[in-house]
Chain A
Amino acid sequence: MGTTNSTLSKIPNVEELMQETGFTPAHIVRLYDRFEALDKEKTGLLRPQDFGAINRLAMNPIGDRIIGAFFSPGQETVDFHSFVRILAHFRPADKKRPKDPSMPEPVNSRTSKLKFAFQLYDQDKDGKISRAELLQVLRSMLEMQVTEEQLESIADRTIQEADLDKDDAISFEEFRKSLEKVNIDHKMSIRFLR
């Protein structure tokens, strides 16, 4: 009896991980089981094709980008710690925590979530969403359903609305401003059952 503790002890640095991400031990165990289930070849690391085997994800128009978010540039595998860290972005915000300016920004705060979403668009990580990058995302989400012209006009309109300093790209601040009324915590959170 007591397989929870034995699972937790299998994971190195689990205390640190829980501290950093805010997941409870129960969540960590569940995520570990999930990680192991996805890791079909039992290598302890996940590869893009392991994610690709998830059907619902393969169906998702931006599935490839989401998979890409797990892998740091140049890396081909992701270990359990990184897996959990990325998922931690989608934890609902902790309402009870006081704002402590000396502590680093928690990984699931509104700003962190927005930064994470920003990186979905900004693939070359230059801090701006260029017109080309926006077009790429639009193309993934709409593919064959609209013409190239329509895609371009949508991209133009979006940049027009959000771009305040008129440099034909959307910086993180402009991104944040244009989404200030959206309930990010609600829309970019996954509710883990207890």
Chain B
Amino acid sequence: MENSLKQRRGLQVWFSVMIGLIMIPAMFGLSLGVTSVYIQILVKILEWSTLRIQRGHRDRPTLPVPAPLPNGLIQREGGSMEHEMGELRRYRTQSISRGEFALSDSFYFYRKGLESIVDDQVTQRFSSEELVSWNLLTRTNHNFHYISLRLTVIWGLGVIIRYCVLFPLRITLAIIGLSWLVIGTSLVGFLPNRRVKNWLSELVHLMCYRICARGLSATIQYHNKNNKPQKGGICVANHTSPIDIVILANDGCYAMVGQSHSGLMGVIQRSMVRSCPHVWFERSEMRDRHAVTSRLRAHVAAKSNLPILIFPEGTCINNTSVMMFKKGSFEIGGTIYPVAIKYDPRFGDAFWNSAKYNMVSYLLRMMTSWAIVVNVWYLPPMTRQEGEDATKFANRVKSAIAHQGGLLDMAWDGSLKRDKVKEEFKEHQQKMYSSMVVGKKARTSQEPHTESTKR
């Protein structure tokens, strides 16, 4: 009896010490260096396991193992429509310059169509990135068979460590962080004084986000801190998961923009507003674009307000590419501070597939990954130039972010995940094809006759 009581007391003390050791340096932005050591050990283990898996594959080539294909299932011919059609028609004895139709022309469209049925670039972006090697998490194990006993043992150990040691620690930290956010901001809200209030509110916010970040074992590397978003500006970033907010807010204070929720989120939102202005919209207001734009504009105009944080893609993308930015954010005016966020997929898949997982199961998955390793690049501020419309500006910013983060710059709209594509694209294809068949000659049927008389 006494022993078990003592054991439990011992465990509790040990637990609280751990929490304290993690929390207190976090609150002040310091690090004990434990996380970096942990990451290094992890990298070594993952490298070893990769080698082991590769060796395993070599030794047993008869096993049908689909290799992970990060770029899709099929090899695509890179040729343009003209090039391909030219090849298809090469057999024809008549001169190709006359254009015209060949029965084989449809093969080009046929093949392209089937290729898109088997695999398509857009849908790929909405499922998690496939890793080239396995990172010892069950959830990323698509293709890897049983390879060796040692690997299984390490995987088993990994499960125990992640679920029994790391997970309780992280949950506790997360709860502490969020409660402190609510309590702290409410307390600060009582203060009347401007400057002290702002300073305190920033401090409270920073501390909470830092604790939350520890709660995810997040290692964040910020680059180009001199370009950090300033007050009265708009911060724009690519969106992979709700954790992006925690990641960015660890280094600075932002005014959040979003829909006001009820329940726990609502409590957090309301208390945050007490200490410094955020922009929360009611659901009905969101539909009125003008109202939204004018409110944001008013916020930006007050130069003492914190920079707004906006994710123009509108939805979570899997962090291999950047999809089209919605131009709404770029019509507000003011200076845009682009930020590129890139997660390292080896340590945990940060992408929130909202179709597959709800918020709670997503957060649980996050807390049982190895760690979250992120690179954040602050890009130099951009403003809309004379005569540049919002769409062009949005694309310019998007390319800069994609380029910096090493992500693919895709021309597709994030909402295409749910909507259908427009007729314009189809027409464009038809136009291209028709120029090959009919050509740029005059569109009369008398052309051939005049040609033949020109001997």
* Centre residue among A27, A66, A144, A179 by max chain B CB count within 10 A: A66
Interface size on B, residues (CB 8 A): 62
Q: CA A1 – CA B154 in complex, angstroms?
A: 13
Q: Does A188 contact B (CB under 8 A)?
A: yes
Closest to B67 in A: A194
- Which stretch (B12-20, B102-110, B284-292) binds chain A? B102-110
CB pair A55 B122 closer than 8 Å = yes
Instruction: Report if A54-B445 is in contact (Cβ < 8 Å); known contacts: A117-B110, A187-B87, A188-B107.
Output: no
Instruction: Report if A145-B421 is in contact (Cβ < 8 Å); known contacts: A55-B120, A66-B113.
Output: no
In the bound complex, residues from chain B placing their C-beta under 8 Å from that of A4 are 64-66, 143, 145
* Centre residue among B65, B67, B72 by max chain A CB count within 10 A: B65
Q: Which of B416-455 contact A (CB under 8 A)?
A: 416, 420-421, 425-427, 429-431, 433-434, 437-438, 443, 445
Q: CA A4 – CA B63 in complex, angstroms?
A: 10
Q: CA A187 – CA B91 in complex, angstroms?
A: 13
CB pair A188 B111 closer than 8 Å = yes
CB pair B104 A187 closer than 8 Å = yes
Q: CA A66 – CA B113 in complex, angstroms?
A: 7
Q: Does A162 contact B (CB under 8 A)?
A: yes
Closest to A26 in B: B66
Q: Does A127 contact B (CB under 8 A)?
A: no
Q: CA A137 – CA B416 in complex, angstroms?
A: 28
CB pair B114 A30 closer than 8 Å = no
In the bound complex, residues from chain B placing their C-beta under 8 Å from that of A169 are none
In the bound complex, residues from chain B placing their C-beta under 8 Å from that of A190 are 74, 111, 114-115, 118
CB pair A34 B64 closer than 8 Å = no
In the bound complex, residues from chain A placing their C-beta under 8 Å from that of B115 are 56, 190
The 8 A CB mask of A93-130 against B (1 = contact, 0 = none) is 00000000000000000000000010011000000000
A56: contacting residue among B120, B147, B427, CB under 8 A:
B120
Q: CA A76 – CA B109 in complex, angstroms?
A: 23
In the bound complex, residues from chain A placing their C-beta under 8 Å from that of B144 are 1-2
Q: CA A180 – CA B91 in complex, angstroms?
A: 9
Distance to closest chain B CB from A50 (angstroms): 10
* Centre residue among A61, A144, A162 by max chain B CB count within 10 A: A61
Instruction: Report if A54-B117 is in contact (Cβ < 8 Å); known contacts: A60-B429, A61-B433.
Output: yes
CB pair A141 B433 closer than 8 Å = yes
Instruction: Report if A34-B73 is in contact (Cβ < 8 Å); known contacts: A29-B66, A58-B426, A142-B437.
Output: yes
Interface of A (DSSP majority class): helix
Q: Does B28 contact A (CB under 8 A)?
A: no
Closest to B425 in A: A59
CB pair A1 B64 closer than 8 Å = no
CB pair A143 B427 closer than 8 Å = yes
In the bound complex, residues from chain B placing their C-beta under 8 Å from that of A179 are 91, 103-104
Instruction: Report if A26-B104 is in contact (Cβ < 8 Å); known contacts: A1-B152, A66-B117.
Output: no
In the bound complex, residues from chain A placing their C-beta under 8 Å from that of B429 are 59-61
> On chain A, which size bracket covers the interface?
35 or more
The 8 A CB mask of A27-59 against B (1 = contact, 0 = none) is 101110010010000000000000111111111
* Centre residue among B65, B66, B109 by max chain A CB count within 10 A: B66
Distance to closest chain B CB from A96 (angstroms): 18
In the bound complex, residues from chain A placing their C-beta under 8 Å from that of B433 are 61, 141-142, 145
In the bound complex, residues from chain A placing their C-beta under 8 Å from that of B65 are 4, 26
Q: CA A154 – CA B75 in complex, angstroms?
A: 33
Closest to A187 in B: B107
A55: contacting residue among B112, B141, B412, B427, CB under 8 A:
B412
In the bound complex, residues from chain B placing their C-beta under 8 Å from that of A189 are 111
CB pair B118 A60 closer than 8 Å = no
In the bound complex, residues from chain A placing their C-beta under 8 Å from that of B84 are 187
CB pair A138 B101 closer than 8 Å = yes
Q: Does A17 contact B (CB under 8 A)?
A: no
Measured CB to CB, the residues of B under 8 A from A are 64-67, 69, 72-75, 84, 87-88, 91, 100-123, 127, 141-147, 152, 412, 416, 420-421, 425-427, 429-431, 433-434, 437-438, 443, 445
Q: What would 16 more interface pairs be, CB under 8 Å, given A55-B122, A57-B117?
A: A2-B146, A3-B142, A5-B145, A54-B123, A60-B116, A60-B426, A60-B429, A117-B106, A141-B105, A142-B433, A150-B438, A157-B101, A182-B107, A187-B111, A190-B115, A192-B118
5 pairs across A/B with beta carbons < 8 Å?
A55-B120, A60-B429, A138-B101, A145-B434, A162-B103
Query: Nearest 9 CB-CB pairs, A to B?
Result: A181-B91, A145-B434, A56-B116, A26-B66, A25-B64, A66-B113, A191-B75, A59-B425, A55-B421
Measured CB to CB, the residues of A under 8 A from B are 1-5, 24-27, 29-31, 34, 37, 51-63, 66, 87, 90, 117, 120-121, 137-138, 141-147, 149-150, 153-154, 157-158, 162, 170, 175, 178-182, 184, 187-194
